[in-house]
Structure 1
Amino acid sequence: MQNLTIGFIGGGNMAEALIAGLRRAGHAGEHIIVADPQPARREFLTTSYQVISVEDNVVATKRADLLVLAMKPQQMKAAVAGLNVHLKTDASVISIAAGVSTAAMHEWLGEAANIVRVMPNTPALVAAGMSVLFSDAGEIHKVRTEYLLNACGESVRVEREGQMHAVTALSGSGPAYFFLLAEVLQATGEKLGLPADLAAKLAAQTALGAGKMLVESDRTAAELRHQVTSPGGTTQAALDMMYEMGLPDAVRKGVIAASKRSEELAG
Structure 2
Amino acid sequence: MTTIGVIGTGDFSAYLIAALRRGGHTGRILLSPHNLKKARDLSTRYDCPVAVDDVSLTEQADWVLLAVRPEQLAFALSTLTLRPNQTLISAVAGITTAELRAAKGDSIRVVRIMPSSYIEAIDDGLIPMFPACPDVEAVLAAAGKVLVLGTEDQLDLAMIGACLAGWTYRFIAKLENWFAERGLRPDQARVMAAGNIAGAAAYAALRQDVSLAAISDAIATPGTFTKTGLDYLARTNAAAPWLEALETVHRDLPASRARQSDMRKRSKEKR
Q: Report the TM-score, using the length of structure 2 for normalisation.
A: 0.85
Q: Is the 8 A contact 1:18 1:151 kept in 2?
A: no
Deviation of 1:88 (Å): 2.6
Q: Secondary structure at the match of 1:93?
A: strand
Q: Is the 8 A contact 2:94 2:257 kept in 1?
A: yes
Q: Note if 1:186 corresponds to 2:176.
A: yes
Could you report, residue by residue, the CA deviation over 1:17-65 in whole angstroms, capped at 9, with x for unpaired residues? 3223333444435x21011422221221111111111352222111111
- Residue in structure 1 matched with residue 265 of structure 2 by the alignment: none
Q: Is the 8 A contact 1:68 1:94 kept in 2?
A: yes
Q: Note if 1:143 corresponds to 2:134.
A: yes
Q: Is the 8 A contact 2:54 2:79 kept in 1?
A: no
Consecutive unaligned residues in structure 1, runs of 5 or more: none
Q: 1:148 to 1:18 in 2, by over 3 A?
A: farther
Q: Is the 8 A contact 2:89 2:113 kept in 1?
A: yes
- Residue in structure 1 matched with residue 150 of structure 2 by the alignment: 159
Correspondent of 1:132 among 109, 128, 132 = 128
Deviation of 1:146 (Å): 0.9
Kindly report which structure 2 residues correspond to 1:116-127, keeping only aligned pairs within 5 A, or say none: 116-126=111-121, 127=123
Could you report, residue by residue, the CA deviation over 1:150-201 in whole angstroms, capped at 9, with x for unpaired residues? 111111222221222222112x212123223311211222343433332122
Could you report, residue by residue, the CA deviation over 1:101-153 in whole angstroms, capped at 9, with x for unpaired residues? 12221232122221112221222112432122223xxx6xx123212321111
Q: Secondary structure at the match of 1:173?
A: helix
Could you report, residue by residue, the CA deviation over 1:239-258 in whole angstroms, capped at 9, with x for unpaired residues? 22222222122222111222
Q: Note if 1:207 corresponds to 2:197.
A: yes
Q: Note if 1:10 corresponds to 2:8.
A: yes
Deviation of 1:7 (Å): 0.9
- Residue in structure 2 matched with residue 20 of structure 1 by the alignment: 18
Distance in 2 of aligned mates of 1:19 and 1:230: 45
Q: Secondary structure at the match of 2:93?
A: coil
Q: Secondary structure at the match of 1:33?
A: strand
Aligned pairs, number: 256
- Residue in structure 2 matched with residue 224 of structure 1 by the alignment: 215
Q: 1:208 to 1:162 in 2, by over 3 A?
A: closer
Distance in 2 of aligned mates of 1:249 and 1:26: 41
Kindly report which structure 2 residues correspond to 1:28-43, keeping only aligned pairs within 5 A, or say none: 28=26, 31-43=28-40
Distance in 1 of aligned mates of 2:251 and 2:52: 36
- Residue in structure 2 matched with residue 238 of structure 1 by the alignment: 229
Distance in 1 of aligned mates of 2:100 and 2:124: 28
Deviation of 1:238 (Å): 1.5
Q: Is the 8 A contact 1:7 1:61 kept in 2?
A: yes
Residue type of the alignment partner of 2:97: T
Q: Is the 8 A contact 1:130 1:154 kept in 2?
A: yes
Consecutive unaligned residues in structure 2, runs of 5 or more: 259-271
Q: Is the 8 A contact 1:94 1:116 kept in 2?
A: yes
Q: Secondary structure at the match of 2:239?
A: helix
Q: Secondary structure at the match of 2:150?
A: coil
Residue type of the alignment partner of 1:109: K
Q: Secondary structure at the match of 1:197?
A: helix
Q: 1:254 to 1:225 in 2, by over 3 A?
A: same
Distance in 2 of aligned mates of 1:195 and 1:21: 30
Q: 1:191 to 1:56 in 2, by over 3 A?
A: same
Q: 1:122 to 1:91 in 2, by over 3 A?
A: same
Q: Is the 8 A contact 1:17 1:152 kept in 2?
A: no
Distance in 1 of aligned mates of 2:18 and 2:242: 33
Q: Secondary structure at the match of 1:231?
A: coil
Deviation of 1:99 (Å): 0.8
